[in-house]
Every structure is written in C-alpha cells, then in structure tokens.
Amino acid sequence: MPKKIYIFDTTLRDGEQSPGASLNTHEKLEIAKQLERLGVDAIEAGFPIASKGDFEAVKTIAENVRKPVIVALARAVKQDIDRAWEAIQYAAKPRIHTFIATSDIHMKHKLRMEPEDVLKRAVEMVSYAKSLCEDVEFSPEDGTRTRPEFLYRILEAVIDAGATVINIPDTVGYAMPEEFGSLIRGIRENVRGIENVILSVHCHNDLGLAVANSLAAIQNGAQQVECTVNGLGERAGNAAMEEIVMVLKTRSDFFDYYTDIVTEQIYRTSTMVSHLTGMHIQANKAIVGNNAFAHESGIHQHGVLSNRQTYEIMTPESIGLKQSQMVLGKHSGRHAFEERLKELGFSNLTHDEINSAFHRFKDLADKKKFIMDKDIEALINEKVLEVPETYELEYFHISSGNTLVATSTVKIRSDNEAYEEAACGDGPVDATFKAIDRAVGVEVTLEDYYLRAVTSGKDALGEVTVKIRKNGDVYIGRGLSTDVI
C-alpha cells in the first residue's frame, strides 16, 4: 500500500529569500491560491517578525487560503513566536515553525551559546508555541552538521514539549544522499517518540543534491518534504517541488509513495512563480524548463512520432503543458476565446478579466497573424496583478544605428503634468531608461532587463521583465508587446 508524502511548500518563505525574488502581499496571495489548487499540504507563508510586509502577507494568506496548513516561521524567541501566532491565528489550520541552530559551528560562532542552553531554549520555546497553537514544527538548523547524539537528545526533548512535526534541515546543502538517508534512519531508530510526530526534511541545493537527498530521506522514513516551486531559495535554492513530485509519480514502480499534488497544475504554478518573482527558468531545467519536452535531433523526433514513450518518460500533459497550438485568429469570437482559456487551465477568471483579456487578444490579432496558446498564456499572466498606473508613457522616439550614438526622447504624463526628456545611451534601451530617469526625477539602479520571445517568428510577442533597485528595495515590472522596445 503506497504511503502518502506530505508536500510542504516554502516558496513564499525560503523561496522568497532568493536574492532579487521579493514579492508583495497581492503576489504572495495569488501564489498561495495557486498552491492550494496544486494541492500542497502546507504553505510556509513567511517569517512574520522579519518585516511588516511579511507579517501582512502571512496574515492575508492565513485568512484567505483555507485548505492547506498555513505555517509561519519563528526563531526560538518569544517575540518571534508571538508575531507568528498573531499572523496565523485565524487560519483554518495554523502551524508555528520554530527553529534554532544545533551544529557546533553555528552554536559557537553564530548563537554564542552552550549546547545545554540551546537545548533548554528549544524546549522552552516549543512549549511556549504549543501554549498558543496545537500544531508546532521544530527544526534544528544545520541539522546535517549536528552531532547525532546531541540531535537525538534535543529532538526527544522537543517532542516531549509538544512538537508535532520534526524537520531536519540540510541548511547548507552539504549532505550526500546515502549519508542523509542514514541520518533519517538513525533518527527513526533512536529518538523516543518519533513515531508520534511527522518526520520532515528540508534540503538545500548547494551541491545540486537537494532532490536526491529528499528522496533518500523518504526511503528512510521521512513523511514530509519541504520544497519550493522551480527550486527557488537561499543561494542555490531548495529542493524543487515539481521534481520530487514527478519522480514519485513517474517511478511509482520504484517508490512506494504518493503525493496529493494535482500534477496538471505544475506548469501553471511554475510559470506564475517565475513570472511574479522575475526569476527565469533555465531552458533545460527538469520538468518545467522550455526544453524539457522538446525533441531536437532527427532520430529523437522520428522515435517520438512513432511512439512517444521512446524518448518521453512522462507526458507534457501530466504537468499541464499543452502542445502550443495555433488556436485562434482575428475572426475568433469571445465564446471560442473563453473555451480555449478553460482548456488552458484558466478556469478561475472573472467575467471582467475574461473581457479585458479578450480585448487584448483582439489587439494582438491585429498585429500577429497566428495566435498560439503561449501568446494567450502570456496575455493572461501579464495581467495577473496590476498596480494602479502612476505614470503614463505618451510617446518615445529613438534614433539608433551601428554608426550612431543611440538617443531617446520620452514624454511621460502624471496627474495632468507632462514631462519630456531626452538622453543618449549605450543602445536604445539604455538611452530610454536614462531619459525616463530624467523625466521622473528618480534615479534607480537597473538590476535586470530580460527579454524573451513568447513564441517563434518575426512577429512573436516579446515579454520584457525589468528589475530596478532603489534604497535597497527591488521592484519588478513586466510588459508584453510585438514591439520589444
């Protein structure tokens, strides 16, 4: 009888700790709703003590996303735990996740605490969290570099204090799969009371082993895996949710485990997270990369045409990826458009959202002869979240060439005031950014300018993601047009 593996998604907490991946409350809520549709068991929504924004986001998710457990992170510190509880107290299924480092290197150099004091603090804070919330998760940070005897002692003590989930993090992505599997087996065999709680793992990808380590842990008794969409996370990221889930599904002959993930929602979730965080997915990324189901060589194409199983171990449809088809054109009506949206998995759009998407589709159909599924997805994703417009670009003029210094003139409006400026730059994009900086009188650092063609061909839609930094805050904007400038 296959055993269930709980999927604990930490995209909105550890994933959001990826450099440059910050999300606002609305964006986090959209992602949390999509994670609910995906069927995750738990969502770690954030670290409420970290900032007011984090607190608000966790609270909003706790109040609006009712099916999964909503988890808030807290150091083993009373104020952190109070703030975490304040954020999730109205959740249908709240959980406080508290942690303290237990490896010699962390205790000595980071905490500057003696092991016995760390143990005492862990017990006190788990008991305190338990007095507020029935469901309490405890993590010994840097668990894989912790002396096993000390690890066993602290785990027994926090279980006695009321922990319901014990999570073993490979915080620095140091473990090897066999070694990590043995550690989990050792915990199963040596920690009194472990059979009464959920044993979880949390692997980082510094050596590219996060997924392999999570799977080794599952084979040795872990019941929950902590992971992120697209493997986002600190440094090299966390274990990728889509990879763990698809391994268990595709190799069900090898693994006697299952998850409750609706795998057909994987592609949509991955695209949404990439879009909202501005973190692009490498083309050859397993499961969700653009090339994951592409067959380039003639031999492979021939094989796939005769029988897909020759080179495909899972179907694109199983992750919700439809073959991009030429779907609609200039003369397609609203009904056909709406039907196609449903087939593409956009079944939760409101009447107004469909109307607005249909107008944008008609505008695009005037410029582009064949509209593909990917164009429609991009049109919808572009509007997932919009903030009210402050400035409106009235026009821009560019002169550029291989023997000219690029210059750009822009006219921008805000509150009935118009601002016109010109600037030279290293290419038309640079010149335009400089002219905009001057017109709005705000200087920002351009962190990333990323242009990708949504489909192929000269008339392809171009999608641009821009990340700017001002006073330490990162802002992300996106635009979609057949004119890439």
For residue 11, the partner it binds in ligand KIV, Zn ion, none, with Cβ less than 5 to 8 A by kind, is: none
Nearer to Zn ion, 9 or 373 (CB): 9
Structure tokens at 354: 């469909």
Question: Number of C-alpha atoms within 13 angstroms, CB side, residue 379?
Answer: 26
Q: What is the rounded CA–CA span in Å between residue 470 and residue 483?
A: 27
Nearer to ligand KIV, 139 or 274 (CB): 139
Q: Least separation, in Å, of the C-beta of 122 and ligand KIV? A: 13
Q: How many CB atoms lie within 10 A of CB 261?
A: 24
Nearer to ligand KIV, 164 or 324 (CB): 164
Q: Least separation, in Å, of the C-beta of 124 and ligand KIV? A: 18
Q: What are phi and psi of 113, to 5 degrees?
A: -130, 150
Q: What is the rounded CA–CA span in Å between residue 368 and residue 381?
A: 19
The structure tokens 């589709």 sit at: 361
Structure letter (DSSP) for residue 432: H
Q: What is the CA radius of gyration of the chain?
A: 25
Q: Least separation, in Å, of the C-beta of 14 and Zn ion? A: 4
Summarize as ranges the residues that interact with ligand KIV (CB under 6 A): 14, 99, 139, 141, 169, 171, 202, 204
Residue nearest to Zn ion (CB): 14
Summarize as ranges the residues that interact with Zn ion (CB under 5 A): 14
Nearer to ligand KIV, 98 or 465 (CB): 98
For residue 242, the partner it binds in ligand KIV, Zn ion, none, with Cβ less than 5 to 8 A by kind, is: none
Q: Least separation, in Å, of the C-beta of 353 and ligand KIV? A: 35
Nearer to ligand KIV, 144 or 465 (CB): 144
The structure tokens 């510094």 sit at: 206
For residue 94, the partner it binds in Zn ion, ligand KIV, none, with Cβ less than 5 to 8 A by kind, is: none
For residue 141, the partner it binds in ligand KIV, Zn ion, none, with Cβ less than 5 to 8 A by kind, is: ligand KIV
For residue 139, the partner it binds in ligand KIV, Zn ion, none, with Cβ less than 5 to 8 A by kind, is: ligand KIV
Q: What is the rounded CA–CA span in Å between residue 93 and residue 135?
A: 8
Q: Least separation, in Å, of the C-beta of 66 and ligand KIV? A: 25
Query: Exposed e or buried b for every residue in 273-291, given b needs 16+ CB within 10 A?
Result: bbbbbbbebeeebebbeee
Q: What is the rounded CA–CA span in Å between residue 96 and residue 114?
A: 25
Q: Least separation, in Å, of the C-beta of 99 and ligand KIV? A: 4
Q: Least separation, in Å, of the C-beta of 373 and ligand KIV? A: 37
Specify whether the CB–CB gap between 294 and 316 falls below 8 A.
no
For residue 382, the partner it binds in Zn ion, ligand KIV, none, with Cβ less than 5 to 8 A by kind, is: none
Nearer to ligand KIV, 273 or 423 (CB): 273
Short-list 372, 419, 370, 430, CA closest to 392: 419
Nearer to ligand KIV, 238 or 271 (CB): 238
Q: What is the rounded CA–CA span in Å between residue 55 and residue 53?
A: 5
